Amino acid sequence: MRALRPTLTLVPLFFLVACGGSSCPERPAPTPLDRNTTGAIIGAVTFHGDPPSSTPVPMDQTCTKLHSGPITAGDALVKSHRVQNAFVYIRDGLGDRVFPQPTTPIEIDQKGCLFIPRVVGAETCQEIVFLNSDPLLHNVHGFAKGAPWNFSLSQAGSRRSVRVPEQEAIRVGCDVHAWMQAWVHVVNHPYFAVTGADGAFTLKDVPPGEYVVTSVHEHFGTRDQKVKVGPKEEQAIAFAYGDSGN
């Protein structure tokens, strides 16, 4: 009798980097943009009063060893009244303009049993790459309304990408470590920013027009500001949360 030999099933490499979510249609030709007339919208996001503290993270023993001290989720970062991780974008006023498809991917790492960064912005169908830099199993569960995704990144160096065809704000979690959470804000244009520790934002190369600009924060909510940008103008606006919010 011939001895049975174990067989090895080869998984094509593209499976590890295949795109999740729905299919992405090709964009129409971009609307011409005259950069001799474009302007900018600048500003800051602030919080007045006593802000809530960022949520402590109750990590398990394995993940705790990856840090040297207490860890918070980064869901309410306010320093000197400046709000970090607010997503600011043009919500209305661009009409039916079409913009070139971005070729540079957005990256979100799983490092120290946290998603880093916690908040990102991306354009529709832009590649969003998830990485695992930890020496342990992680999972990436995107709770998208249109086409949710759920896959594992089993070891350090693993990566996989998704593309989101529709505008929406997507909560991303890790089913292995329940405290891990990130937010991916997807819009159909390049006029967005995520505030850093200084709360500041800049939207560049904005065509002349009247716009509604929106700030979104996962705990503090949504604020709108109207602004008119003339040719070559730089307009300043501000968003305030807390006791004197606008």
CB-based contacts of 86: which residues, under 8 Å, 6+ apart? 45, 119, 194, 195, 199, 201, 215, 216, 217, 220, 239
Count of domains forming the chain: 2
Q: 228 is in which domain, residue-wise? A: 35-97+192-246
22, part of any domain = no
DSSP string, 64-119: HTT-SS--B--SS-EETTEESS-EEEEEES-TT---PPP-SPEEEEEETTEEESSE
245, part of any domain = yes
Q: What would you measure as the largest C-alpha separation in the chain, in angstroms? A: 85
pLDDT at 14 over 70: no
Same domain, 63 and 105: no
Q: Regarding predicted confidence, which is higher, 219 or 10?
A: 219
Residue 112 tokens, joined: 């120290």
What pLDDT is recorded for position 21? Answer: 52
Interior/surface letters 28-44, b for 16+ CB within 10 angstroms, e for the rest: eeeeeeeeeebbbbbbb
Same domain, 76 and 148: no
What pLDDT is recorded for position 34? Answer: 96
Q: What is the 8-class DSSP label of residue 56?
A: B
Looking at 171, 188, 205, which one is the last position of a domain? 188
What pLDDT is recorded for position 244? Answer: 67
Closest by CA to 206, choosing from 29, 35, 28, 32, is 35
133, part of any domain = yes
CATH number of the domain where residue 137 is located:
2.60.40.420
What pLDDT is recorded for position 160? Answer: 97
Residue 25 tokens, joined: 């249609």
Same domain, 153 and 128: yes
Q: What is the pLDDT of residues 149-177, one digit of tens each?
A: 999 999 999 999 999 999 999 999 999 99
What pLDDT is recorded for position 25? Answer: 87
Q: Are strands 138-142 and 168-173 parallel, antiparallel or unpaired?
A: antiparallel
Q: What is the pLDDT of residues 121-146, one digit of tens each?
A: 999 999 999 999 999 999 999 999 98
Q: What is the pLDDT of residues 42-92, one digit of tens each?
A: 999 999 999 999 999 999 999 999 999 899 999 999 999 999 999 999 999
Closest by CA to 216, choosing from 94, 95, 91, 78, is 91
- Percent of all residues in the chain with a pLDDT value above 90, rounded to a whole number: 86
Looking at 140, 172, 188, which one is the last position of a domain? 188
pTM of the shown model: 0.90
Same domain, 146 and 170: yes
42, part of any domain = yes
Residue 7 pLDDT grade (very low, low, confident, very high; cuts 50, 70, 90):
very low
pLDDT at 99 over 50: yes
Residue 23 pLDDT grade (very low, low, confident, very high; cuts 50, 70, 90):
confident
88, part of any domain = yes
Same domain, 51 and 130: no
